[in-house]
Structure 1
Amino acid sequence: MSPALTGGQILSALRQGVPGWWLSVLLLPLAFMLLPFLFGTASQRRHRRYQRQAARILVRLPQLRDDAARLVYLRKINPYVFEEMLMTAFARQGCRIKRNARYSGDGGVDGQVWINGQRWLIQAKRYSSCISSGHVLDFGAMVRQERCRGFFVHTGRTGEVSREALRAVPDVSLISGNRLLKLLSGNAGWQYIDQ
Structure 2
Amino acid sequence: MRPGLPLESLGPLVWWLLLLGVLSWIALLMGANVSRHRRYQRQAQRILDRLPQLAGDGQRLTYLRKINPYVFEELLLTAFARQGYRIQRNRHYSGDGGLDGQVWIDGQRYLIQAKRYARAITPTHVAEFGALVRREGCRGLFVHTGRTGTKSRAALASFPEIELLSGQRLLALLIKDIP
TM category (shorter chain) comes to: 0.7 to 0.9
TM-score (norm 1): 0.76
Secondary structure at the counterpart of residue 43 of structure 2 = helix
Q: Deviations over 1:30-79 (max 9, x none)?
A: 9xx49x59xx6100000000000000000011111100000000000000
1:153-168 matched pairs, under 5 angstroms: 153-168=143-158
Alpha-carbon distance in 1 for matches of 2:37, 2:116: 18
1:152 aligned partner = 142
1:180 aligned partner = 170
Unmatched segments (≥5 aa) in structure 2: 1-19
2:39 aligned partner = 49
Structure 1 residue runs of 4 or more that deviate by more than 4 Å after TM superposition: none
- The structure 1 residue matched to 2:106, chosen from 116, 122, 134, is 116
Amino acid at match of 1:72: T
**Residue 169 of structure 1: how far off its partner (Å):** 0.5
Identity percentage of aligned residues: 65
**Contact kept in structure 2, 1:111 and 1:123, CA below 8 Å:** yes
Unmatched segments (≥5 aa) in structure 1: 1-28, 188-195
Alpha-carbon distance in 2 for matches of 1:171, 1:140: 8
Higher RCO, Cα 8 Å, sep 6+: 2
TM-score (norm 2): 0.83
Q: Figure out how many residues of one structure are paired with residues of the other and give that number.
A: 157
Secondary structure at the counterpart of residue 104 of structure 1 = coil
Alpha-carbon distance in 2 for matches of 1:121, 1:87: 11
Larger radius of gyration, structure 1 or 2? Answer: 1
**Contact kept in structure 2, 1:92 and 1:186, CA below 8 Å:** no
**Residue 186 of structure 1: how far off its partner (Å):** 3.0
